[in-house]
A and B are shown apart, each in its own frame.
Chain A
Amino acid sequence: MFTSTLRAIKFAFQKFGRNFWLSIITVSMLVFTLLTINILIVLQQVTTKAITFAEDRIEVSVYFYPNSTIEQVSDAAVYLQGLPQVRDVAVITSDEALERFKLRHASDEVILASLSEVDGNPFGATLVVKAHSADDFPFILDALDNPKFRDDIREKDFSSYESIIDRIRSTTDRIQLFGIALSGIFLLIAILIVFNTVRIGIFIHREEIGIMKLVGASNAFVRAPFLIECILYSLLAVTITALIVFPSVATMDPKFSLFFNGETGGVLTYFSKNWYWIFGIQFIVMTIINMLATMVAMRKYLKV
């Protein structure tokens, strides 16, 4: 059994070598397919990152009237903090608000002058509310309509990252759809090429196969090299793909920091952490698909 397995592997390598160019074409097609799939994975990662990045920055500023007391403001802060949708509430007191305003307009004499005309501090306190997800904002805004606070609140300002997120989503959704269609087409071509490679392989080896059967090789032994070749193809294809994907991701990832305020896209980390899953599953699925194509080809052309 062990001897036969080794021999079947040897025969598979011989087959691969004898149809070298055909094997190369087959593996290349598998690599193309896997590359599109990996591009999709990268895209998925970057999108997720971009969306969380944008979502992190969505906030509602709740401006209180200057005459509202610090208790009323902190009541509202505590109330918001208690909502499960709220991630973080920051309180900017009226004094801080005034300081910020002065700082921002430090170079503008006119504004500073008009500010000093006003009695006391014209600024009220502000709450800066962050949510867990963009979808939670309508709820939070509604919650602030609570009669307990409503009359103290001058204005609610919804800094709108929402449209950005929508744009990210719709763009990536479209790219993703295109990517899925492309990998689908590549996969189909890959299957046909594997099928054809096996067909030609059977044709090239038909004499050898005939002799094998005449001298008493079992059917399993006749078929095994073709199936082992499948494993060889996917192993090669996945390895080559990994060798292309890793350096590409490594060079690409830091470039994302331009968009993400100095943070990387996290794609490299994702790949380094999960490479055995990502490529392991690709290998297994690719092998299974190849084997199915091979078995269909053998059933059709290998009369055993």
Chain B
Amino acid sequence: MIHFKNVSKTYPPNIVGIRNINLHIRPGEFVSIVGQSGTGKSTLAKMMFAEERPTSGEIAVGGWDITNIREHDVPLLRRQIGVVFQDFKLLSQKTVSENVAFALEVAGVSNRRIREVVPQVLKIVNLSDKGDRYPRQLSGGEAQRVVVARSLVHRPKILVADEPTGNLDTIHTREIIDLLKKINEFGTTVVLVTHNREVVNALKKRVITLDDGQITSDVEEGRYRL
């Protein structure tokens, strides 16, 4: 599903993001990426949806070589990958439903289809009854679930979540992780970047550890070890 071949990223002037990463994530996997701050986790994640381009190496997503993806094609890639960030990135002047609908609107999806999809994804994240609220009227966990719902509107084959629980307490963290597991069970490949030891240990899924831009361990059913 996701292939990295000798991928390095150097930010100007010569800050190392990641170096010489080789990685293969199979369809339907749930992969956690852990590591200390500044070790290149976000850099790695951003490359999967062409937010950053590699300095060298090759990247393929779903069999599509996106190493030198044209600007024009980036939107197509983004519509196949759901993205969830730590800072929620909801539009405060739009309601929950409108925030979710927004992702479909800007992709040119018809109004009829939008009316179908929005309730569906809100149901998945268990927010069917809060569609008319504004982001400020939601708890952190609920807001993050809206972001997850929004990332699902295009039925992505891949979901990339960069510290989705970074701002959340234990209960809300559990909610989000359970949600990601549920999405993964539906067949979506999930890439989770996290700092959270309990989360990683409870998942009992594949764990990739980064240090100084390099993969130091890659273990099926791994544990959080730094």
Q: Is B41 an interface residue (CB 8 A)?
A: no
Among residues 48 to 85 in chain B, which have CB atoms less than 8 Å away from a CB atom of chain A?
A: 49, 51, 71-72, 74-79, 83
A32 CB to closest chain B CB (Å) equals: 32
Q: Is A285 an interface residue (CB 8 A)?
A: no
Assess whether B108 is in contact with A215, with CB atoms less than 8 Å apart. no
Q: Mask for B90-124, Cβ within 8 A of A = 1, else 0?
A: 01000000000011011111110000000000000
The one of A207, A210, A215, A219 in contact with B107, judged by C-beta atoms closer than 8 angstroms, is: A215
Q: Is B89 an interface residue (CB 8 A)?
A: yes
Q: How large is the interface on B (under 10, 10 to 19, 20 to 34, 35 or more residues)?
A: 20 to 34
Judged by DSSP, the binding face of A is helix
Which of A1-9, A54-62, A132-140 lines the interface with chain B?
A1-9
Assess whether A216 is in contact with B79, with CB atoms less than 8 Å apart. yes
Q: Is A218 an interface residue (CB 8 A)?
A: yes
Q: Complex Cα distance A221/B72, Å?
A: 12
Assess whether A3 is in contact with B83, with CB atoms less than 8 Å apart. no
Chain A: residues with Cβ within 8 Å of the partner, total of 19
Q: Is A243 an interface residue (CB 8 A)?
A: no
Assess whether A7 is in contact with B89, with CB atoms less than 8 Å apart. no
A213-B78, A216-B78 in contact; A221/B106 too (CB < 8 A)? yes
Q: Is A211 an interface residue (CB 8 A)?
A: yes
B interface residues, Cβ below 8 angstroms from A? 49, 51, 71-72, 74-79, 83, 89, 91, 102-103, 105-111, 150-151, 153-154
Q: Lowest 10 CB-CB distances: which A-B pairs, in order? A: A216-B78, A217-B106, A216-B79, A215-B103, A4-B108, A216-B75, A218-B75, A212-B106, A216-B107, A214-B83
A interface residues, Cβ below 8 angstroms from B? 1, 3-4, 7, 207-208, 210-219, 221-222, 304
